[in-house]
């Protein structure tokens, strides 16, 4: 195992659960506590991976068949890890990533039917035992998350809506997929109720950081 100095935290959850909002707030809180933080996201995070992101998150929902989609994600994830995340951790930064490998297990695995054992093998081949130190799962009914994204998309005129436009059944299966993953790995994945207000969720995020990673974080 590599020597790693920073901590690696990922946020997971369905569309509109509040991941990007909470990533920003946690980064601010940690910086105020004197911690050096690198904020990043998936798919993306490094220049090459951001190019691949464009292929994944725009266009028709049927644009990619599921295995190709998983391979694109892992090409991006390898580049992201090697060029951005691992170097930042080695410089002592905490890395906070808006999604990581759990999203592939859930979106391409549970949601689109790619075999779980095959995905685990792919991860092992591409990244070995790399995993976040802590994963915060923002849990929310799919309908509520999708409703939140609609307001946001209108405000920002984004075209990154390929997954949002998949069926409600698909999004409901994602929620079950994420809670199933969390149940299988309670040491790493903490499930937070994301239905409360932004400040309420942010408080729960900090509480988890304190409990799991940083008992001395000021309140
Ligand atoms: N706790 C909350 N209560 C109500 N609205 C929220 C809450 N958190 C975030 N929002 C709003 O909901 C929308 C989606 O939030 P955000 O972009 O953080 O979600 P996300 O999980 O990153 O979504 P995506 O999966 O699409 O990237 C934004 O308009 C945001 O301001
Ligand atoms: Mg987001």
Ligand 1 within 6 A of CB of 151: yes
Residues 105-144 have pLDDT tens digits of 999 999 999 999 999 999 999 999 999 999 999 999 999 9
| pTM exceeding the 0.85 threshold for the entire prediction | yes
Structure confidence at residue 130 (pLDDT): 98
- pLDDT-derived band at 2 (thresholds 50, 70, 90) equals very low
User: What is the per-residue pLDDT for 205?
Assistant: 98
Q: Read off the pLDDT of residues 67-117 as tens digits, 9 standing for 90 and up.
A: 999 999 999 999 999 999 999 999 999 999 999 999 999 999 999 999 999
In short, whether 53's Cβ falls inside 6 Å of ligand 1 is no
Sorted by where each starts, the structural domains of the chain and their CATH numbers stand as 8-212 (3.40.50.300)
Q: Ligand 1 pocket check: which of 12, 15, 18, 39 to mutate, most ligand atoms within 8 Å of Cβ?
A: 18
Contacts of 218 (CB under 8 A, 6+ apart): 33
For ligand 1, whether the C-beta of 161 sits within 6 Å is: no
Instruction: Indicate which residue's Cα is closest to atom 9 of ligand 1.
Output: 18
* Listed residues: CB within 5 A of ion ligand 2: 19-20
């Amino acid at each position: 195992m590599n020597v790693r100095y920073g901590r690696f935290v990922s946020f997971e959850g369905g569309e509109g659960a509040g991941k990007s909002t909470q990533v920003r707030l946690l980064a601010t809180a940690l910086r105020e506590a004197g911690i050096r933080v690198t904020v990043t996201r998936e798919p993306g995070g490094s220049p090459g991976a951001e190019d691949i992101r464009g292929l994944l998150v725009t266009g028709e929902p049927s644009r990619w068949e599921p295995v190709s989609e998983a391979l694109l994600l892992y090409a991006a994830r390898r580049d992201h890890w090697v060029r951005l995340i691992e170097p930042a951790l080695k410089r002592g930064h905490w890395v906070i990533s808006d999604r990581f490998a759990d999203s592939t297990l859930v979106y391409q695995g549970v949601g689109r039917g790619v075999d779980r054992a095959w995905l685990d093998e792919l991860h092992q081949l591409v990244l070995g035992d790399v995993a976040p130190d802590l994963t915060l799962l923002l849990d929310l009914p799919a309908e509520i998350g999708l409703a939140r994204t609609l307001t946001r998309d209108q405000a920002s005129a984004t075209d990154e809506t390929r997954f949002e436009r998949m069926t409600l059944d698909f999004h409901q299966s994602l929620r079950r997929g994420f809670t199933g993953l969390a149940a299988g790995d309670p040491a790493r994945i903490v499930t937070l109720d994301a239905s409360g207000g932004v400040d309420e969720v942010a408080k729960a995020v900090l509480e988890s950081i304190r409990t799991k990673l940083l008992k001395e974080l000021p309140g």
